[in-house]
Each structure stands twice: as structure tokens, then as C-alpha cells.
Structure 1
């Protein structure tokens, strides 16, 4: 695998002229390989949203550098670098500009001067990839929250990016909509090897990632597999995050004397453990 994005000793402050001001991002280092799903988690104010802006060039660090495909991100290559990324934001209603779903997916392609015949092909392909082909002529604002975010993902995919960044993209969705979006992302990774960065405060979403970066007060507090991050347990709660339901239930069951092999991060793991424990009795 090749490196697709990295931060090297990146520091950023919104008030650099104030000597005692706190850095929003403080000496952060990490690298993301092609095909990975990385979750960046943290409480509000932890620095994760600032990292999103640094990754797509909305902000530039005061120290260190951001690299896209091995090249330092700067004003000279900003638009070329952004063409390698697709962004999906928190509120889907703020992203729509077209009268219909297909118009909306085509909008960025038109702005990038894609020939009409190729544009039509890309729109059809992108909507098929997110299972929204049947809604091509629907008005976006009549869709459910999950459907809107799937259309937003299609708009990003139509540009054929190497990297998809989800910036709190499921935080305003109901459980059904959240499941639709996350299943779509999982399918895309399996189908086309898409690299995904999920910026979220939802640890259940972070469980789907290959690796989790845990931010706190602008610093990288911890990095590792989801199971390694969740093993921090109550420390995560102290720092403003809510543990997955299955993890909390596992702990409560163990406190009540129910034999379990450990604390689980998915409901499926917990159910299997309970079934096995009782079956063996």
C-alpha cells in the first residue's frame, strides 16, 4: 500500500498572535495508507474538525506540513490536491444545488469541465454505486436523511477521488439513515478499494475503521485498532466520549456475575459470547 495522506508535526492556532493561546492542533503526526478506513474521534473542541480543514486546504498549518500522495499541500497545488478528495459534510441539506438528484451529482463535474457524454456515464455509475439509481429524477429535498447523504457520496464519487472524507456525516441522521450510509461506505471499500477518513464523535461508527486516532485538546492522545482504543474504557468517558452500547452492557453483565470472555465492542460479539457461555453450561 502507498501513503495517500499524512500530517507531519502539524500545529495550528486560530489566534497565533496571542502568545498564551491554545493550539487547536498541536504537533500532530499520522499517515494513512491507500485502502484504509481511519476514524478520527474526539469530543467537541478536540481538534478533529480543524484537522479536516487542514487536510483539504481550507487551513494551512503554522508549523509542519500536510502531504497528499507524498507531496506537501500548498497554495500552488491546492486545487489539484482537492481533486483527489471527496468531502461529505454534516448537514446534507447544505450540500444540494441541483433541482434533481442527477443534476446535483453532475454539478461538480460541470464545474470541472467534464465532457457531457462522460458526465452522463459518471453520474449513472456513481448513483448505481450508492444504490440511488431509482431516485435519479427525484428532488433531493424530498429524500430521507440517509438517502441525501448517499447522494452526497455519489457526488463525491463521480469525481473519482482517491480519498473520501466523512466530516460528521452521520451525526444528524436517525439510526436507519446512519446504517444506510455506513453500509454504503463499507460496500464501496470492498468494491473499489476506496480510502476513507471518518471524522466523528460516534464510537460505534469508529468500530468499523481499520484504525482509530483519538484526539484530545488538539493532541493525538492515542492511536490503534478499535479494540485497543476502546480498551481505554472509562478514560474515554472522562474525555467526553460515550462508549458503544455493547461495551457498556458487557461491563454491567460482568459486574452482575455473568461469565463473559471480555468486554465487546459489537452487539454481535456480545450475543455470541452469551450464547457460547450458556451453551457450554
Structure 2
């Protein structure tokens, strides 16, 4: 569990995060959304111990995030960056996944087993001997995810990981994330269609927490979406159009919309 209490962070006397209070449950999937400058990436860097807040307290798995506990907390948190080139540490896919594991001084057979396991999960098993810098954007991002998964952290932060990808690459990465189990997933994103699949949506605006709701509740608040200039997911926009003439159930994902439409047609 992550508990954030009265957290504030300033840069050159400008408030980036202001009196933030937030709890993220163990093994939940939360999406953090907000426009540029809302403080999303700053919060991620604080959780990783890369930035130190001027005020407030953070507890991660019942340990206070401070300099004394940082060596114990850091192995529990992994992060996948927007640009995977920034986090590659090996020339080949195999070397990159192995790097962190070798730093743990694991036996060679255990390292190889983890490489094969997470390369298979992320769909890069056939790329293990390829140069990471010669891969497509989607392939690079899947390698970055494999490298983080191989370290087996409890918490993984994904910072705009589909922002630079083409639609197919983004879908492949999103499908990998959706299938990750028994981890706390923190997704920083502008993609509300993807955020709609999470357990909770957290909204930051100018460094302040302005909403923390399930997608089902969040996307019902049309006034809020309009006020803060959020574009509803495609499925919800379709629902609004269809509901003018029908009694369709509320839905926020394309997958669920398909099922609801099928059920509606059966009743006609």
C-alpha cells in the first residue's frame, strides 16, 4: 500500500504538488491523469526517491520513504519511462533484461530462467539477440517492460508509455499491462480510453488532487469532464448517442459496449 500525507513539492518556489493526500491499495491498478504541468511525473519521481518533497510523508508497504529506508524501498518499485531508450543498459535484448538481475548477483541459471519467462510474457522471446536500438518503438517498450518485470517489484509506475507508439504498438503494450497480476500498477497517461480500464482514476490539476473515483463513477460526471477539458472514451461517447433512443446500460470500455449492444439486440 502507498500512503501519501500532506505532500508538497516546490521547484524554484513554484508549487508543483500541493498538500496531496492519497492512498493506493496493494495490487490495484490506478491511472493518474491530468494536463501538462499537473504534477503527474513529479509525483512518480518522488515515489522512486529521485526527488525529495519539502513537506509531507510517504509510506510504501508500511515503510516511510526517507534516506534511511530508500535502499529497502527502491527494489520494490520499478518504472517504465515514456522513452525506453533512456533506460536501456544492454546492447541486446537479452543483455538489457539481464542487467538488473546480474546486479542482484543471482545464479546464472536463475537469471536465464527469468529472462526467458519475462521475454515470453512481453512477446520479445524471438528478439533476445537483437540490438535494442534497432527495434521498433513498440518492441523497445516491451523490452523495457520485460526488464522491469524481471526485477519482480511490488509496484510498477508506467509514465506515458504509449505516447510515442503507433496504434498497434500501443495496443500491444496496453495488453501486456492489462495482464500483469499481483502488482500495484500506477499508470500516468493522457489516454482516457486506457485509463477507463483501471480500478481507479486519480486526477491532478495544478498539483492538487481534484478527483479519485472508479472509472464508472468518474465518467458519469459530464460536467467535470467538460470543466477540466477531458475527452470521454470512445465507448462512452457512443453510449451517449445511443442512449438518446435506448435504455442501454452505462459502460466505459469498447469491450463492454460490445456485450451491452449484443444483450440489447437480443431483447429487441
* TM above 0.5: yes
- Which residue does the alignment assign to 1:83? 75
- Which residue does the alignment assign to 1:7? 4
- Which residue does the alignment assign to 1:248? 237
Q: 1:125 aligns with which of 86, 95, 117?
A: 117
Deviations 1:197-225 (A, max 9, x none): 11111111111211111111111111111
Deviations 1:27-56 (A, max 9, x none): 111122221111111111111111111111
Could you tell me which runs of 5 or more consecutive residues in structure 2 were left unpaired when the two chains were aligned. none
State how far apart, in whole Å, the 2-side matches of 1:28 and 1:135 are. 42
Equivalences for residues 168-179 of structure 1 within 5 A: 168-179=160-171
- Does the alignment pair 1:70 with 2:59? no
Deviations 1:221-275 (A, max 9, x none): 1111111111122422431322111112222344xx4214255311233334444
State how far apart, in whole Å, the 1-side matches of 2:125 and 2:28 are. 27
Deviations 1:97-119 (A, max 9, x none): 32210011112223343343332
CA RMSD of aligned residues (A): 1.9
8 Å contact kept, 1:108–1:155: yes
- Does the alignment pair 1:258 with 2:245? yes
Aligned length: 268
Q: Structure 1 residue 14: deviation in Å? A: 0.9
Could you tell me which runs of 5 or more consecutive residues in structure 1 were left unpaired when the two chains were aligned. none
State how far apart, in whole Å, the 1-side matches of 2:148 and 2:4 are. 23
Equivalences for residues 215-230 of structure 1 within 5 A: 215-230=204-219
Deviations 1:56-109 (A, max 9, x none): 111111111111111111122223211111110101222223221001111222
Q: Secondary structure at the match of 1:231?
A: coil
Q: Secondary structure at the match of 1:109?
A: helix
Deviations 1:14-36 (A, max 9, x none): 123xxxx4x21111111222211
Question: Which of 110-119 and 66-75 deviates more?
Answer: 110-119
Q: 1:270 aligns with which of 257, 260, 267?
A: 257
- Which residue does the alignment assign to 1:196? 185
State how far apart, in whole Å, the 2-side matches of 1:144 and 1:41 are. 26
- Which residue does the alignment assign to 2:96? 104
Q: Secondary structure at the match of 1:83?
A: helix
State how far apart, in whole Å, the 1-side matches of 2:83 and 2:227 are. 28
State how far apart, in whole Å, the 2-side matches of 1:71 and 1:238 are. 38
State how far apart, in whole Å, the 2-side matches of 1:262 and 1:188 are. 28
Q: Secondary structure at the match of 2:91?
A: coil
State how far apart, in whole Å, the 2-side matches of 1:262 and 1:234 are. 20
State how far apart, in whole Å, the 2-side matches of 1:173 and 1:251 are. 29
- Which residue does the alignment assign to 1:28? 20
